[in-house]
Amino acid sequence: MSFIQLDDHAGVIMLRVPSKEVVWLQAFFELSEGLGAVRTYNVRENKVLILLSKDSYDDALALLSSIKELVDWEFLDEPVPEFI
């Protein structure tokens, strides 16, 4: 599952991204203003989450697909960290 709903309006996409490529992922999401906020939550294991609204999920997936050759990401299938 790539989108984990947090409440009626928001959710997260959890990814593993090589540490050297996280800055690129953040840059692409910042260029798409309001699409989602990229946060690293486990530096050692290269785990990143994207906080976003339910309504922006399809656009976020499209962006992720379009940058796959530039940013080597993969979906994570695990529980959302407790601090979220």
Please give the model's pTM, rounded to 2 decimal places: 0.90
Task: Give the three-class secondary structure for 52.
Answer: strand
The span from the CA of 13 to the CA of 5, in Å, is 9
What are the residue ranges of helices labelled H in the chain? Answer: 22-31, 57-66
Summarised one tens digit per residue, pLDDT across range 4-48 is 999 999 999 999 999 999 999 999 999 998 899 999 999 999 999
Identify the pLDDT of residue 39. 95
- CATH assignment, 3-75: 3.30.70
Task: Give the three-class secondary structure for 38.
Answer: strand
